[in-house]
Amino acid sequence: MAENQQFDFNSSNFVIFLYKWRKQILIVGLGAIVISILFSSPWFITPKYKSTVIMFPTSTNAISKALLTDNFGNKQDILEFGEEEQAEQLLQVLNSNTIRTKVINKFRLMSHYDIDSTDRYKNTQLYGEYDQNITFNRTEYMAVQISVLDKDPQMAADIANNIADLVDSVKNQMIKERAIMAFRIVANEYHTSVKEVRVMEDSMTVLRKLGVHEYETQSEMIMQQLAVEYAKNNTRGIKALEDKLGVLAQYGGAYVSLREALLHEKKQLSLLKAKYAEAKVDAEQVLPQKFIVNSAYKAEKRSYPVRWLIVLITTLSSLLLCILVLITIESLDKNKLGLILPEIKKKD
């Protein structure tokens, strides 16, 4: 008997159930609509406007590699859009404390967000509001989107555009710090090599003044001429040639060693000069670090809250909860009736 008295929740019974409780369900539904409309109004929720910037990262950071290098296999296209790796790097820059601090200070967000500057947890509240209103995401096309929500539509657009501008200054500053250190290292090596080459060239000049101009060629020519003078028995000519051979014998070894060292050092200096020029460009010049696709503009319609969505979710949730409560009530009534009927039959 108890099983027969259980609430059979099939489609036909459910329709009957809804019809039976139609007034209560209708009251709850209408009440939920009215309340959700009221509490989603500007009196309770401050409307916010959304502005976005969409940009692509660049594919290269080093100007010298894109413009000056002769290695065309590794040469990077300065006009090429970045890929996933560059997009992730750009997101990390956007989420940096440096950009957050600059934006907070420029737009006085603590005052704008109505945060008490004397509160013990003012920074926690400020950063929470910042993260809630300012977000950065990667799009499906490997672009990066900056989204800003604010109660002032012009402020939202200004913040979004300012963050996009800050990308260049912050990222270039990070790159420049390293580039300047690299330039100092290369510059030191380059100037040291220039001094060494100058010293070697001065030494070569001294040797040339002593009569050593081209050791191998001079030696061969003097030996040939000496043979001729011996044949002529020209004592004076022989003496002069022997003196020249003496000079070559004394300084020839030093000349050859110095000449070979100078050739090697000039090759190194040529390489260092190219590196010096590249490092100098990287340390002194800057390029934009992104391609702007869409700049932010002042929104005409608010984006938050989405009132129709709030009303819909609130109403459906209320109706669902109401139906569950009514089902529970009816089930309890059925169970009570199932318990009472056997007792009545026993008394009869």
Domain that holds residue 210: 181-284
327 in the same domain as 273: no
The reply to whether 96 falls in a domain is: no
216 in the same domain as 311: no
312 in the same domain as 260: no
Rounded distance, CA 234 to CA 139, Å?
94
277 in the same domain as 218: yes
Domain boundary among 253, 284, 315: 284
The reply to whether 311 falls in a domain is: yes
The reply to whether 117 falls in a domain is: no
Rounded distance, CA 28 to CA 189, Å?
82
For 144-176, write each residue's pLDDT tens digit.
999 999 999 999 999 999 999 999 888 888 888
329 in the same domain as 255: no
The reply to whether 141 falls in a domain is: no
Rounded distance, CA 278 to CA 67, Å?
9
pTM of the model: 0.65
**Assigned token pair, 72:** 């065309």
ω before 305 within 30° of 0 (cis)?
yes
The reply to whether 138 falls in a domain is: no
276 in the same domain as 241: yes
pLDDT for 204:
84
Longest dimension (CA), the chain: 167
248 in the same domain as 210: yes
For 191-212, write each residue's pLDDT tens digit.
999 999 999 888 888 888 888 7
Domain boundary among 284, 319, 340: 284
The reply to whether 101 falls in a domain is: no
255 in the same domain as 341: no
What is the percent of the chain with per-residue pLDDT over 90, rounded to a whole number? 26
pLDDT tier at 334 (50, 70, 90 boundaries)? low
309 in the same domain as 271: no
User: Is residue 112 over pLDDT 70?
Assistant: yes
User: Is residue 119 over pLDDT 60?
Assistant: yes
205 in the same domain as 252: yes
340 in the same domain as 267: no
The reply to whether 172 falls in a domain is: no
316 in the same domain as 242: no
Domain boundary among 250, 284, 318: 284
The reply to whether 84 falls in a domain is: no
Q: How far is CA 238 from CA 5, 26, 150, 246, in A?
A: 142, 132, 101, 12
Q: In the chain, how many domains are there?
A: 2
Query: How many degrees, rounded to 5, is the angle at CA 155 between CA 151 and CA 159?
Result: 120
User: Is residue 329 over pLDDT 90?
Assistant: no
